Chains A and B, each alone.
Chain A
Amino acid sequence: MAHISLKNLNIHYDGYHALKDVTVEIPDGRITAIIGPSGCGKTTLLKSLNRLLDLNDEIRVTGDVLIDGVNIYAPQSDVLALRKKVGFLSQRPFPLPMSIYDNISFGPRIHKQNGGQMLGQITELEKHVQIFESSSKDIFKAKPTKKNGEMDLLVEGYLRLAGLWDEVKDRLHSPASRLSIGQQQRLALARALTIEPKVILADEPTSALDPISAQLIEKQFKLLKQHYSIVVVTHILRQARRIADYVMFLYMGELVEHGSAEAFFNAPRHEKTRAYISGEIS
C-alpha cells in the first residue's frame, strides 16, 4: 500500500489545459474511483500517477504528485522504480507478443529477480491471500528443485491470484493473443501484480469486456484492495457505486468534488455532482 497525494497538479497538453489545479489525498488500501464525463481529464490524471504521460510529447506538468512522500516529478526521481511501484491496467488489454507464461514472467525477468527473491515474493503473497489450495506446502517443496521452478511457482501464483489459472493451466505456452478479451484483461492484471506494486491504476478496465468478465475483474479488485491502493477510472456510474470506497468527480479538468463513496452518492455537495449523478449531464 502506498499513499498518494496531489498538490496543485496542473497538466497542459499542446497548449490545452487538461487538468486544473487538482489537490487531493488518495486514501490507502481503498478503491478510489475517478469519474466524470468524457474528455474531463480522468485518464490524464491517472496516467500522471505513473508518469506514462511522459510518452506523449509536448506535455507540461506542474505541481506535485507525492507517492509515500516522494515527489515523482522531481528531476532526480527514478521513473523505472516508480512504475515498478505503481501497476497499470489499460482500457483495452494488450498482452505482450509472447506466450501466457512469458507475459507473467516478463516483469520479474526484467527486474532480474533471482530464485530466492521470487520464492520470498510468492511466500509473502501466500501469507496475505490464500492463493494455492490446501496442499500448497507440497507445491513449495516440490517446485524449486526443478529448473525454473521458482518462476513456475510465481507464474502459477499470480495466475491464481487473478483468477485465471484454471482456464489456462494446460496451455501456458500458447500465445496470449488466443485468450478471450476478458481473459486478456485478467492476464494483464496478473502481469501488473508480478512486479509487486503498491498501487494499481486501472483505466476503464472493464469497458471493453463482456459483463461476466467485467464482474470477475471487479471481484478481483475488491479482493486486492486489502493489500493495494487501487485507483480506477470509470465512466460507468453504477460501477463506481459498486466498487468505490472513495470517489473523485472531474469536470472539464477540474476536481469538482471528492469524498467517501457514501457521502458522495448520498449527499453530493456540488450542483454539478448532483446533475452528473442524476444523469442530467453525462
Chain B
Amino acid sequence: MKRARKIEEQVFKGLMVFSLALILLIFCGIILVVLIKGAAALNLSMIISVPKGGYYLGREGGVANAIVGSLYLAFGASLVSIGISLPVAFALQKEFIKSRRFSIFSRLMLDVLWGTPSIVYGAFGFVVMMYFGLRASLLGGIIVLSLLMMPIMIRSMDEVIRMVPLEMKESAYALGTTRLETSLAVILRQALPGILTAVLLAFGRGIGDAASILFTAGYTDFIPRSILDPVASLPLAVFFQIGSPVPEVQERAYASALILLIIVLLVSVISRILGKRFSKHIIK
C-alpha cells in the first residue's frame, strides 16, 4: 500500500513536469519559427513606413499602417470595453442583482459569448454596419472588437470582484459608505491587479484577432485619418502576406507576427509593473 502511494505520487509529479515542459516547448517553438523566418525581414523601415508601390511583390515599404491600425483598434476597443465591462462586472455581484437565477443566466450567456467564434462577431458586426450604412472603418472595427473583448473582460473582472472578502466590504459598509463608495474606494482597489489581468487577457485576444475585423475594419495601405476610414491590422497583414507566392513577402508575414508578439509582450510587462505598483495596499 505504502509503495503504491509513493508510485502514485511519482506518476503525478512526472505528469506535471511533462505537461509543463510540453507547453514551454510549444511556446519556444512558436517564437523560434517566427524569429527564424521573420527576423531577417524585420528592420526599421518595415516598422516606420507604410507599403509603397509594389510592396506586395516584395519591393520597398513596411507595415506601419498595420502596426498603427492594430494599436488604434486594440486600445480603442480596450477603452470602450473597460468603460462598459466594469459597471457590468459590478452589476453581476449579488449586492446589485438580487435574483440568483438572473445572475447565473447572465454569467452563462457571457461564457457562451466568450466561446463564440470571432468570425461570428465579424458577420454580426457586418450585418449591423450594413443596416446603418456604415463602411468598413476604424469605428466599425473598434465596435466589433469590443463585442469580442467584453465577455472576456466582464467574466474575468466578475471573478476577481467576487473574490473580495465579504468582511472587507462589511468593514466599509459599517462606516456608512454607499455601494458606489464601497465599490470604487475599496472593492476596485482590492481587485485592481485582477482587473488589470482581465484587461490584458481581453487586449491580447483583441489585438490578435483577424476574423472579426476582416469585414468590419477593412484593410488599407494608409494610416487612418478619421475613425470612419478603413484601417489595417497586423493579424490581417500576416494573413494576406503569408499567402503570397513571393518569398520576401512571406518573410514579412512572419516579421509582422513577430511585431505583434513584441507588442503583446510589452503591454504585458508594462501592465505587470503597473499592477505591482497598484497592489501595494492589497490585503491578502
Contacts and interface: CB of A to CB of B under 8 A. Distances in A.
Given A57-B98, A94-B171, A177 B176 contact: no
A57 B178 CA distance: 17
Interface string B173-196: 111111001000110011000000
A70 B100 CA distance: 33
Contact of B284 (A57, A91, A177, A195): A177
B169 interface: yes
Interface stretch (A1-9, A105-113, A149-157, A269-277): A105-113
B168 A96 contact: yes
A81 interface: yes
A80 B185 CA distance: 16
Nearest to B279: A97
Nearest to A85: B176
Contact of A191 (B94, B169, B175, B281): B175
Contacts of B283: 94-97, 176-177
A84 B173 CA distance: 10
Contacts of A95: 171, 283
A175 interface: yes
Given A94-B165, A97-B281, A84 B176 contact: yes
Interface in A59-110: 80-84, 87-88, 90-92, 94-99, 106-107, 110
A96 B186 contact: yes
A102 to B, nearest CB: 8
B167 to A, nearest CB: 5
Interface string A136-178: 0000000000000000000000000000000000000001110
A117 to B, nearest CB: 15
Interface residues of A, number: 31
A97 B165 contact: no
B154 to A, nearest CB: 22
Contacts, number: 85
A90 B95 CA distance: 19
Given A81-B176, A87-B174, A110-B181, A55 B169 contact: yes
Interface of B: 94-95, 98, 100, 165-178, 181, 185-186, 189-190, 280-284
Contacts of A236: none
Contacts of B175: 83-84, 106-107, 110, 191-192, 195
A50 interface: yes
Interface of A: 50, 52, 55, 57, 80-84, 87-88, 90-92, 94-99, 106-107, 110-111, 175-177, 188, 191-192, 195
B167 A175 contact: no
Given A94-B165, A98-B281, A106-B185, A188 B176 contact: no
Contacts of A99: 281
Q: Closest 7 interchain pairs by CB?
A: A88-B174, A84-B176, A83-B176, A94-B168, A97-B190, A97-B189, A97-B281
Nearest to B278: A97
A177 B282 contact: yes
A175 B281 CA distance: 5
A158 B282 CA distance: 23
A115 B185 CA distance: 21
Contact of A90 (B171, B178, B282): B171
Contacts of B171: 88, 90, 94-96, 188, 191
Nearest to B168: A94
Max chain B C-beta neighbours (<10 A), residue from A90, A91, A176 = A90
Given A80-B176, A95-B171, 6 more contacts: A80-B178, A84-B175, A88-B171, A96-B168, A97-B281, A175-B281
